């Protein structure tokens, strides 16, 4: 859709769900901020102060929120800690945290930190097939003694999209706080965090938002929680217009901005500044349509030509994020062999090959070519030459 706006590497890039490609606008905004540093030095803060807040209106559109409900800050895990510190208040009768066995491990580490801190427990919803979750199993976990549930929008392994609207409703009925990890959906599909009544959400911007490696992540805090004072306070979450009065007590900035802690990396924000320009050129509804077109096509091709690969991503469009995952006992070797042929997929232990045809820059022809190369690799078993490397070196 906007391929020309991106600096496309040689070959075929299908790893935008891990690290999105550099857009020309992000390069430009990063260069501009670098130039400001070189020429203005500390005076650069006159334009850098409030930079995160200036991105909120555009960011909010991507997650279905009001501008004050979002802020670009930190990274997923750090943001999750900050939000858990505030939102997780276990009592004798409502004390457990629930997550799933298929969550990204760093989220689970963060949750464990807090259950260990309070001497409570983390309950994990397990998967029947090892790759996806059922509505019944998730709903079953919404028990009265649960204080907080964290769910991903899209599972990083299989690409399954969860029905967050449904779970947010259930959470409200049960007085459970629902937090969401939207790492694999922001920039790829539509959200309505405000209307769904999600309590809080975290995401990164180095995947589908294409803001650059380690770019500033984002948080959503529903307006109904604006009265909450951040448990992890820092001067960047202080009311902006009085922060330089250097008062010894904390007065929080209204909205999600209160959850900022430290001075943000301006260069990490600059990448996001540019990438949000790209998202102003196309509607997120059209991005989702194109993404579904690409993933549907890829799954059809795989089913037709690569029967050795087991598709673990739901075929139902309403249950699918932006990537397609397949299972193969030699997934690791296949990923290395594809890379040798200048096709960049993604591998996740132990046997998942992930491919993300990104709406903004991938094409149908690239998917044809990828499947063609995979067929050849499976026929010739040429990928086996990486066996030694995988067993002895990595």
Ligand X SMILES: Cc1ncc(COP(=O)(O)O)c(C=O)c1O
- Which residues make up each annotated binding site for pyridoxal 5'-phosphate? 77, 104-107, 181, 184, 206, 235, 263
**Measured between alpha carbons, how far is 187 from 288 in angstroms, rounded to an integer?**
9
Minimum CB distance to ligand X smaller for 5 or for 132:
132
- In sequence order, the β-bridge partners of residue 99 are 124
Packing angle, helices 266-281 and 51-63, rounded to 10? 40
CB of 220 to ligand X, least distance (A): 15
CB of 86 to ligand X, least distance (A): 18
CB of 329 to ligand X, least distance (A): 24
Closest CA to 121 of 129, 131, 111, 134: 111
First vs last Cα of the chain: how many Å apart? Answer: 37
Query: Phi and psi of 220, rounded to 5°?
Result: -125, 135
CA-to-CA dists, residue 265 to 45, 172, 253, 366, angstroms? 12, 36, 19, 35
Minimum CB distance to ligand X smaller for 348 or for 375:
348
Minimum CB distance to ligand X smaller for 156 or for 236:
156
CB of 75 to ligand X, least distance (A): 3
CB of 110 to ligand X, least distance (A): 8
Minimum CB distance to ligand X smaller for 88 or for 104:
104
Instruction: Check: CB of residue 52 under 8 Å from CB of residue 276.
Output: no
Give Rg (Cα) of the chain.
22
Minimum CB distance to ligand X smaller for 76 or for 298:
76
CB of 221 to ligand X, least distance (A): 18
Annotated binding residues, as ranges? 77, 104-107, 181, 184, 206, 235, 263
Our CA angle for 218, 40, 59, nearest 5°, is 20
**Measured between alpha carbons, how far is 168 from 162 in angstroms, rounded to an integer?**
11
Q: What are 165's two structure tokens?
A: 């609207």
- In sequence order, the β-bridge partners of residue 161 are 154
Minimum CB distance to ligand X smaller for 48 or for 156:
156
Place of tokens 């070196």: 393
- In sequence order, the β-bridge partners of residue 178 are 149
User: Using CB under 6 A as the criterion, which residues of the chain lie in contact with ligand X when the complex forms?
Assistant: 75-77, 104, 106-107, 152, 156, 181, 183-184, 204, 217
**Measured between alpha carbons, how far is 370 from 14 in angstroms, rounded to an integer?**
9
CB of 183 to ligand X, least distance (A): 4
Minimum CB distance to ligand X smaller for 44 or for 234:
234
Minimum CB distance to ligand X smaller for 44 or for 214:
214
CB of 212 to ligand X, least distance (A): 13
**Measured between alpha carbons, how far is 336 from 343 in angstroms, rounded to an integer?**
9
**Measured between alpha carbons, how far is 229 from 253 in angstroms, rounded to an integer?**
10
Place of tokens 């799933």: 100
Instruction: Check: CB of residue 37 under 8 Å from CB of residue 255.
Output: no
Query: Phi and psi of 105, rounded to 5°?
Result: -55, -35
Q: What are 252's two structure tokens?
A: 């929080």
């Amino acid at each position: 859709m906007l391929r020309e706006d991106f600096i496309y590497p040689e070959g075929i890039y299908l790893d935008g769900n891990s690290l999105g490609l550099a857009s020309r606008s992000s390069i430009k905004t990063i260069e501009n901020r670098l130039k400001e540093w070189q020429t203005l030095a500390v005076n650069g803060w006159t334009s850098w102060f409030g930079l995160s807040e200036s991105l909120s209106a555009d960011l909010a559109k991507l997650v279905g929120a009001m501008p004050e409900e979002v802020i670009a800050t930190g990274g997923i895990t750090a943001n999750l800690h900050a939000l858990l510190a505030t939102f997780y208040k276990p009592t004798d009768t409502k004390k457990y945290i629930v997550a799933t066995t298929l969550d990204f491990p760093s989220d689970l580490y963060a949750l464990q930190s807090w259950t260990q801190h309070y001497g409570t427990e983390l309950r994990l919803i397990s998967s029947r097939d090892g790759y996806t979750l059922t509505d019944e199993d998730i709903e079953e976990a919404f028990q009265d003694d649960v204080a907080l549930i964290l769910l991903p929008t899209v599972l990083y392994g299989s690409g399954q999209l969860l029905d967050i609207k449904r779970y947010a409703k259930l959470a409200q009925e049960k007085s459970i706080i629902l937090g969401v990890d939207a790492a694999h959906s922001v920039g790829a599909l539509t959200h309505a965090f405000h209307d769904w009544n999600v309590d809080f959400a975290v995401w990164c911007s180095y995947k589908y938002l294409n803001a650059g490696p380690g770019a500033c992540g984002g948080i959503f805090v529903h307006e109904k929680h604006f009265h909450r004072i951040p448990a992890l306070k820092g001067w960047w979450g202080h009311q902006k217009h009085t922060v330089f009065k250097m008062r010894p007590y904390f007065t929080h900035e209204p909205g999600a901005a209160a959850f900022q802690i430290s001075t943000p990396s301006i260069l990490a924000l600059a990448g996001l500044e540019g990438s949000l320009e790209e998202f102003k050129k196309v509607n997120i509804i059209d991005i989702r349509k194109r993404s579904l077109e690409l993933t549907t096509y890829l799954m059809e091709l795989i089913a037709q030509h690569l029967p050795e690969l087991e598709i673990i991503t739901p075929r139902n469009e309403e249950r699918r994020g932006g990537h397609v995952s397949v299972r193969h006992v030699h997934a690791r070797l296949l990923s290395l062999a594809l890379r040798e042929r200048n096709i960049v997929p993604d591998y996740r232990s132990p046997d998942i090959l992930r491919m993300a045809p990104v709406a903004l820059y991938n094409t149908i022809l690239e998917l044809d070519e990828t499947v063609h190369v995979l067929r050849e690799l499976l026929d010739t078993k040429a990928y086996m030459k990486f066996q030694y490397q995988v067993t002895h070196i990595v």
